[in-house]
Chain A
Amino acid sequence: MEALLYLGCTVPIRNLNYEVSARLAAKALGITFRDLEEFGCCGFPLKSLNVEDTLVTAARNLALAEREDLDICALCNACAGTLNEVAHQVRTRPEIREKINQRLRPIGLHVEGKVKVRNFMRLLWEEIGVEGIRKAVTRPLEGVMLAPHYGCHYLKPSELNVGFDSPDTPRTLSEMISATGAEVVNYPSLLDCCGGGLLGMSEEVANAMAARKLADVSKTGAHALVLVCPFCNVMYEGQQKKIAKATGLDLKTPVVYYPQVLGLALGMTSEQLGFKLNRIKPTSLLKMVEG
């Protein structure tokens, strides 16, 4: 299958390990990603200031994708959520579609709501499936213990994820981790918000939100926390040292992106998968897999 790879602002600048591993894993599983140079911001950062600005900024990307007649696959949860939400509005609310198109006209674009927007995990779940992943695995991650973190915009608002996953009892990421041969580690704060959305407003509150999950996961003995969103990554990886200092907790929880562990199970090397960019090295995990 073919899809347009939507990178957003953060991943292609700050999370090359996510991008490079997602591209490699997709290719190995028979997904063809096409790049669209004209893609810009998804519009999420504008929503607090002006919801309508978010609608047109997101719709610009949707209109560009429609011109290519291809669906969108986004790596970042916030991008996927915003584009999906706006695509839904364009499809179901003619008066909003009209207003958006008025504002798109000066840049020569028009949106109808024809493209489907999915995050990378939903694309894997629906196009490859757990069985498909399991069959493609050439190096099962036996003995590796991984803790999933979905992220809020992966699951919510649930009205946009009907038929995919449940906000209260999510299972898709966990099952796709299982498919790599690794053991899924459960922990109490699975559904916690990372706090990334308010890091710019109150670092103290944001850190306190992320701290509980990091404490829980470090107690489980998991080899890594697995996530799929660059904002969650800012909190759990980028802020981890500061959180450890503020709370006095002894934290050294490696944080990895799902396609990185998937790639390992598909036989790729840690070097190919950009593991050298992971700031808290998953040393024991890589030792178990690569020796």
Chain B
Amino acid sequence: MEQYNTMAKINLNKLDLEFKNRVAEQPGGEGLKACFSCKACTAVCPIQPLDKRYDPRKIIRMVLLGMKEQVLRSDFIWLCSSCYSCQEICPQNVRFTEVMYAIKNLAAQEACIPPGLTAQRSLLRKHGRLYEVGEFENEKRLKFGLPPIVEHPEDFEKLLPDQPVSARLINTADV
């Protein structure tokens, strides 16, 4: 995956002016354009001091500018820990944790998905759970007097499309 070079010049002809609208149309992306760049999100983000590439305010600016490729093909967008600190502090109700999900959902539609997540999804679709449950697990549970776990995978193939990508999603703003 490409790295975003903070020193590189931005080629205006390569910007995608529709990108911000696409992010804003994703579920959770609606608050994006309300950002006034105060940087409170970056100040409270626990990831940013440890990996400078993950900078909430900068990611918002990149999206607003239309730097689609640099955002969706980066690996840093997957570094959000989903701690909601940015969302809690934002004076503009951008809901940045949800905006990050919107960005990652778009990246997934462009097939830029970390392999671990695809593997998790396949497991989930097959077993209805993140871990396959077999005799070993249930014997251990029995030793502690716990009831067996029974997989009910039958619903999940019908519930989840076989690919993680789906068409236009519904809007989930204003919870």
Q: Taking beta carbons and an 8 Å cutoff, which residues of A are in contact with B?
A: 7, 9-10, 12-14, 16, 19-20, 23, 35, 37-38, 40-41, 45-53, 55-57, 60, 85, 88-89, 92-93, 95-96, 99, 103-104, 106-107, 152-153, 156-160, 167, 192-193, 195-198, 200-202, 205-206, 208-209, 274
- B42 CB to closest chain A CB, in angstroms? 15
Chain A interface main SS type:
helix
Given A52-B170, A202-B51, A274-B144: A45 in contact with B159 (beta carbons within 8 A):
no
Chain A, Cβ-Cβ closest to B28: A51
Q: Which of B114, B172, B175 contacts A201, CB < 8 Å?
A: B114
Cβ–Cβ < 8 Å partners of A20 in chain B: 144-146
Instruction: Assess the A19–B51 pair: CB atoms within 8 A.
Output: no
Q: Which of B97, B121, B131 contacts A49, CB < 8 Å?
A: B121
Instruction: Assess the A52–B27 pair: CB atoms within 8 A.
Output: yes
How many B residues touch the partner, as a band? 35 or more
Instruction: Assess the B124–A152 pair: CB atoms within 8 A.
Output: no
- B22 CB to closest chain A CB, in angstroms? 14
Instruction: Assess the B108–A49 pair: CB atoms within 8 A.
Output: yes
Instruction: Assess the A37–B152 pair: CB atoms within 8 A.
Output: yes
Chain B interface main SS type:
loop
- Taking A167-B84, A201-B114 as given, write out 11 further A-B residue pairs in contact, using a Cβ cutoff of 8 Å, ordered by the A residue number: A20-B144, A51-B101, A52-B169, A53-B161, A92-B175, A93-B174, A157-B84, A157-B88, A195-B81, A200-B116, A201-B75
Cβ–Cβ < 8 Å partners of B87 in chain A: 156-157
Task: Give Cα distance in the complex from A192 to B44, angstroms.
Answer: 10
Task: Give Cα distance in the complex from A160 to B105, angstroms.
Answer: 23
Cβ–Cβ < 8 Å partners of B146 in chain A: 12, 16, 19-20, 23
Given A95-B170, A99-B170, A274-B144: A205 in contact with B155 (beta carbons within 8 A):
no
Instruction: Assess the B133–A13 pair: CB atoms within 8 A.
Output: yes
Chain B, Cβ-Cβ closest to A40: B128
Instruction: Assess the A48–B108 pair: CB atoms within 8 A.
Output: yes
